[in-house]
Amino acid sequence: MFYSELGVPRVEKWTLTRRFWQSEKWGTDVQSIAWMPNRNFLVVATSEMYGTGAVYLLDLEKQTAITLAELQACESQIQSISEHAVSVAVSDCEHTTPSKMLVLPFPSTVRK
């Protein structure tokens, strides 16, 4: 492919030369990720060790992030995801088994 023949293809904030997106908030110490079914959204759970310890909903087309919860947990693992919510197992740094399970609903603005 030749760049001149492509022109300048764009989709929201994505361009031919801008193909990567990473933020300090959600891009550090990622513990688990999950795709929102049938949508261009990604859920990212981070650790408090080197990250923020929060769970984020990323709109990949618009390159925006919504904080679903600030868990302040040592480890958070996404267990399941639907079009309406994500289930996250949370554990502290002293135990290997999850200390609690949280269901985090998605904002109504992103639900189908």
Residue 59: count of CB within 10 angstroms of its CB: 17
Nearest to 47 by CA among 22, 26, 24, 30: 30
Residue 79, pLDDT score = 95
> Does position 107 have pLDDT exceeding 60, yes or no?
yes
Residue 45, pLDDT score = 93
Residue 55, pLDDT score = 94
Name the CA dihedral angle for 108, 55, 104, 91, rounded to a multiple of 10 degrees: 180
User: What's the pTM value of the predicted model, to 2 decimals?
Assistant: 0.80
Residue 72, pLDDT score = 74
- Residues 67 and 62: their CA atoms lie apart, in Å, by 15
Taking all residues of the chain, what is their mean pLDDT, rounded to a whole number?
Answer: 83
- Contact by Cβ (8 Å): 17, 9: no
Residue 97, pLDDT score = 78
> Does position 10 have pLDDT exceeding 80, yes or no?
no
Residue 52, pLDDT score = 83
Residue 67, pLDDT score = 95
